[in-house]
């Protein structure tokens, strides 16, 4: 059966509803920088359905965005079904392209009526695959732009599985035969220009079944009529449409980073304690290669204790561990909460290499590293609580990223400044960095002067710490008693 006409042919009528999901793929979540707690949806008119062919971008607009998706076609009505029953109500699976004119996004914020509902803005097909013959966790979605592969992901790690989507929607409405559910798009969705061709294919991971490629050519269309909401874009809309990652949070200036590299962690720890931060040290971690210092703002990853069902849903595919490493920016430090359990690896050589390539300043985990020799050979500062050959599934489930965590007894938030040397690691709240650093630098200048006096034979009374006459001599810049 071919395209949306195949749905009409199979059911004897045009699909009634087209329901689209906002976010579902971990790769897209990482790109967007936010993780939904529950699925959210919008409607597209059935008049937007099309097969292989052409789609118009109105002249004078610039952001026709494409999103390759797996489309579910309902085979039997669903109302008040449970998640484990949802897949049985899906009749077919096919490829879809959720097109949208982002120039009208502001005009239709929250509804997407015009921005996503244009004629031809929901191509489906070319073939429908019988759902009963498919594993819902064994599907692959791929998208090409002018022959270049730009999206490639699988259904094994979705935030919200297909059965869950059917059940969720059926709580409040009846899903009828022929209704279409667009199940979200992975990372790589972007913008197509007139003259370009978008192709989307859905198949089984093993390659045995395929919809073939759903081909859509973008062409110039007539301009939008002057009445109604005008087209409007800004830098934020452009970044979203093109798939640009969210802007990095404010980081360290080069000058602050260099100064922090010159100050001992032990000195910073003293200054933090003076300000009431008694638990600012990440206890129990040591440099995998002694002598490698680490400075940078924190990104975070949390593991939870191993549980078979949770590892099955969160441990495989593009999991939180991979998303955390893949999203690291230049100069950032990935800090992992592994509950101080050193009996399974939380970082190996491939992930360490990826962090290095991304420009990360380093990695800290209160769990273990595996492939320790290979990790040590990578020019990346890594601090761990030990080494262990086991993979993380022995003890850990990678759970979530960029949340407040506890690592080695210290609370770490995204953007906290991490400094580590052979004495250990400390966490500095961003608002205290300059104050703590200036005080630490002053302390080290004093201690350098004190050490010189001790080397000359002076006793410690009144010298360490500086007090009385010794304090006056230091303040006066005297080099000797």
Residue 52 is predicted with a pLDDT of 96
Residue 385 is predicted with a pLDDT of 96
Inter-residue contact 407 to 336 (CB < 8 Å): yes
Q: What would the pLDDT profile of 208-247 be if each residue is shown by its tens digit?
A: 999 999 999 999 999 999 999 898 888 778 888 888 755 5
Residue 238 is predicted with a pLDDT of 86
pTM exceeding the 0.75 threshold for the entire prediction: no
Q: What is the CATH number of domain 3-242?
A: 3.90.850.10
Question: Which residue intervals of the chain bear CATH 3.90.850.10?
Answer: 3-242
Q: Which residues contact 95 (CB under 8 A, 6 or more apart)?
A: 68, 69, 70, 71, 124, 125, 126, 141, 200, 201, 202, 211, 213, 214
Q: Which CATH number fits domain 254-435: 3.40.50.720, 1.10.3720.10, 3.50.30.40, 3.40.190.10?
A: 3.50.30.40
Question: Which residue intervals of the chain bear CATH 3.50.30.40?
Answer: 254-435
Per DSSP, the three-state class of 238 is helix
Residue 237 is predicted with a pLDDT of 85
Cα 16 to its chain centre, rounded Å, is: 35
| Distance between CA atoms of residues 154 and 137, nearest Å | 8
Q: Which residues contact 110 (CB under 8 A, 6 or more apart)?
A: none
Residue 275 is predicted with a pLDDT of 95
DSSP line for 40-95: -EEEE-GGGEE-SEEEEEETT---EEE-EEEEEEESS-BSS--HHHHGGGEEEEEE
pLDDT (tens, 9 = 90+) of the chain, 481 residues, equals 455 565 566 555 678 999 999 999 988 887 776 778 889 999 999 999 999 999 999 999 999 999 999 999 999 999 999 999 999 999 999 999 999 999 998 887 778 899 999 999 999 999 999 999 999 999 999 999 999 999 999 999 899 999 999 999 999 999 999 999 999 999 999 999 999 999 999 999 999 999 999 999 999 999 999 999 898 888 778 888 888 755 555 668 899 999 999 999 999 999 999 999 999 999 999 999 999 999 999 999 999 999 998 998 888 877 889 888 988 889 999 999 999 999 999 999 999 999 999 999 999 999 999 999 999 999 999 999 999 999 988 999 999 888 899 999 999 999 999 999 999 999 999 999 999 999 999 999 999 999 999 999 999 999 998 999 998 898 888 765 4
Q: What would the pLDDT profile of 55-79 be if each residue is shown by its tens digit?
A: 999 999 999 999 999 999 999 999 9
Interior CA angle at 74 toward 173 and 139, to 5°?
Answer: 120
Burial of residue 202 (number of CB atoms within 10 Å: 0-12, 13-18, 19+): buried
Residue 15 is predicted with a pLDDT of 85
């Amino acid at each position: 059966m071919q395209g949306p006409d195949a749905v009409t042919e199979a059911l004897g009528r045009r699909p009634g509803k087209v329901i689209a999901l906002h976010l579902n793929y971990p790769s897209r979540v990482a790109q967007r920088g936010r993780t939904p707690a529950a699925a959210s949806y919008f409607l597209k008119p059935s008049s937007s359905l099309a097969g292989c062919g052409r789609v118009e971008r109105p002249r004078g607009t610039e952001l026709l965005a494409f999103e390759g998706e797996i489309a579910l076609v309902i085979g039997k009505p669903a109302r008040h079904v449970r998640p484990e029953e949802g897949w049985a109500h899906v009749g077919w699976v096919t490829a879809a392209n959720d097109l949208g004119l982002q120039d009208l996004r502001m005009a239709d914020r929250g509804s997407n009526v015009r921005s996503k509902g244009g004629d031809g803005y929901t191509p489906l097909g070319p073939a429908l695959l019988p759902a009963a013959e498919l594993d819902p966790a064994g599907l692959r979605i791929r998208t090409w732009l002018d022959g270049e592969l730009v999206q490639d992901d699988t259904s094994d790690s979705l935030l919200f599985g297909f059965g869950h989507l059917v059940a969720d929607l059926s709580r409040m409405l009846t899903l009828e035969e022929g209704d279409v559910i667009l199940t979200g798009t992975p990372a790589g969705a972007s913008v197509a220009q007139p003259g370009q061709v978008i192709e989307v294919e859905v198949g089984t991971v093993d390659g045995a079944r395929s919809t073939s490629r759903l081909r859509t050519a973008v062409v110039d269309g007539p301009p939008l009529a002057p009445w109604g909401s005008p087209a409007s874009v800004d830098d934020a809309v452009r970044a979203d449409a093109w798939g640009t990652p969210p802007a990095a949070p404010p980081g360290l200036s080069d000058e602050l980073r260099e100064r922090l590299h010159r100050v001992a962690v032990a000195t910073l720890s003293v200054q933090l304690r003076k300000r009431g931060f008694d638990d600012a040290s990440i206890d129990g971690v040591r440099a995998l290669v002694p002598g490698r210092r680490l400075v940078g703002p924190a990104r975070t990853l949390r593991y939870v204790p191993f549980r078979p069902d949770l590892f099955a849903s969160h441990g495989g595919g593009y999991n939180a561990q991979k998303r955390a490493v893949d999203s690291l920016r230049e100069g950032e430090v990935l800090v992992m909460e592994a509950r101080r359990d050193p009996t399974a690896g939380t970082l190996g050589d491939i992930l360490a290499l990826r962090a290095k390539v991304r420009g990360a300043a380093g990695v800290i985990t209160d769990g273990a590293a595996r492939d320790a020799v290979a990790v040590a050979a990578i020019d990346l500062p890594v601090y761990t609580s030990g080494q262990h050959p086991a993979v993380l599934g022995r003890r850990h489930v990678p759970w979530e990223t960029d949340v407040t965590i506890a690592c080695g007894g210290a609370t770490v938030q995204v953007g906290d400044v991490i400094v580590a040397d052979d004495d250990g690691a400390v966490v500095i709240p961003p608002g205290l960095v300059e104050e703590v650093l200036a005080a630490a630098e002053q302390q080290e200048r004093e201690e350098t002067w004190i050490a010189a006096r001790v080397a000359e034979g002076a006793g410690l009374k009144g010298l360490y710490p500086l007090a009385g006459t010794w304090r006056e001599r230091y303040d006066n810049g005297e080099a000797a008693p």
